[in-house]
Amino acid sequence: MLKDDIAKVMFTEEELQKKIAEIGARITRDYADAEEEIYCVGILKGAVVFYTDLVRAIDLPVRFDFMIASSYGSGTVSSGSVKILKDLDYDIEGKHLIVVEDIIDSGTTMNYLMKYFRERKPASLKLCSLLSKPSRRTVDVQIDYCGFEVPDEFLVGYGLDYAEKYRNLPFIGILKPEIY
Q: Which residues contact ligand IMP (rule: CB under 6 A)?
A: 46, 71-72, 78, 101-110, 154-156, 160-161
Cβ partners under 8 Å of residue 119, min gap 6: none
What is the distance of C-alpha 45 from the center of its chain? 9
The region that residue 44 occupies, defined by phi over 0 for left and psi between -120 and 50 for alpha, beta otherwise, is: beta
The region that residue 78 occupies, defined by phi over 0 for left and psi between -120 and 50 for alpha, beta otherwise, is: beta
53, 65, 102, 105: the catalytic one is 105
Residues that bind Mg ion (CB under 5 A): 46
Strand 83-86 versus strand 62-70 pairing type: antiparallel
Nearer to ligand IMP, 30 or 148 (CB): 148
DSSP-based three-state secondary structure for 157: strand
**Shortest separation between residue 43's beta carbon and Mg ion, angstroms:** 5
**Shortest separation between residue 11's beta carbon and ligand IMP, angstroms:** 12
Nearer to ligand IMP, 31 or 112 (CB): 112
Tell me whether residue 33 is one of the annotated catalytic residues. no
**Shortest separation between residue 35's beta carbon and ligand IMP, angstroms:** 32
**Strand pairing partners for 81?**
none
Chosen from Mg ion, ligand IMP, none, partner binding at 104 (C-beta under 5 to 8 Å by type): ligand IMP
Chosen from Mg ion, ligand IMP, none, partner binding at 132 (C-beta under 5 to 8 Å by type): none
Instruction: Supply the residues annotated as catalytic.
Output: 105
